[in-house]
Structure 1
Amino acid sequence: MQNNYPLFQGDGGVDFNIDDKDVWFFPRISTIICDWPEACTFSLTYKSANSNYPCHFCLVQKEDLIDIRKDQLILRDHVNMKEYFNNGTSNSAGLEHVDNYFWNIPNLNIYTATVPDRMHHLDLGLFKYQIEFTTELLKLKPGKLVDDMNKRIAKIPKHSGLKVFKKGVQSLSRLTASEYRDMMKIMVFVVDGLYSEDLSNIRN
């Protein structure tokens, strides 16, 4: 396929020359499946989790992400992001001071078009972190709770469609996304009752 025209030509569509025939169509981007760093690249937002506005999807400060109401949510779009850019205040919104090409494409909000990729966000991201956090938490308690956790995992019987982890969670870096999904099925039962702490003196 050879194209002698730019990919985007405003509202007039695009002419492609395919096999010596002109094909006229309107290209549209509906969804971009990506992980978080890739989403930041498309949206040109800061790639640091320590940014005041680390979310490429919304304008919520970092310290408010854990406790936010729907009516407080301010979504990013090409209008408010261009305002920050034109006013020279891009950094206050966690935005790279670069003119984003996607702002010029009609009927597209690049910030809502970038949707999470389950494998990177959940399987290899959030759940992996939860296991690592739980392991470090167990190490702080007296006894060999991490060994107990691994023994519980090793005792999970074989079952159709379920992977057996005979060595526990000792080699997290080698696990695939599919293996993390298998581990999701058992971890709630593995850690149940393993860690206990007196919370009676903590006020809600």
Structure 2
Amino acid sequence: MAEKTVLSVRGFEIHKSLLDPDAQQALLDDLRDVVRDAPLFAPETRRGRKMSVRMTSAGRCGWVTDRRGYRYEPRHPSGVAWPPIPERIVDIWRTVSGVERLPDSCLINFYGEGARMGLHQDRDEGEFQWPVVSVSLGDDALFRMGGVERSEGTESVWLNSGDVVVMGGAARLAHHGVDRIRFGSSRLLPQGGRVNVTLRVVA
């Protein structure tokens, strides 16, 4: 990984083009192995609304949502244990996180055509001194960043395949989301779509 331009927007660190095309493809191959062992599933919010993304996880625990609420679980909804976090993904954390502690949860979201993610905070981890690291692969995504209070204003940037975002410090509990993707804008996924990998430390 060669360091590229780093943007700072509302406390979010955006490492542009941190992963070159070969690194993106290798990472995608690793993620396909994870999905083979722990298939993508369609999550449901606690209010019973189907989310537009599909997801799975790797690591000691995985984030899930259903009628019981948002939480981390030690197993995939099918009952199988989550696969280990691929070492290439852990290496990204080592490169950009600025902390020695390693992540124990890796959330993998797949955005198909029309998928989005509303403004939200990552606050199910129990401790917030550790950053969240987010990796973009595939189609461009319009990433919206706000503040800790939902009423604060927002700014948006386009994330491209190979970009990595670090949410730490003042941005750790900031609201963020994905308004839309440019479906088919990347050649990494031949049939289109975006993969977002989010690394977290869970207490």
* TM-based fold match above 0.5: no
The structure with more strand, counted as a fraction of residues: 2
Query: RCO greater where, 1 or 2, for CA within 8 Å and sep 6 or more?
Result: 2
With structure 1 as the length reference, what TM-score do the two structures score? 0.24
The structure with more helix, counted as a fraction of residues: 1
Which of the pair has more CA radius of gyration?
1
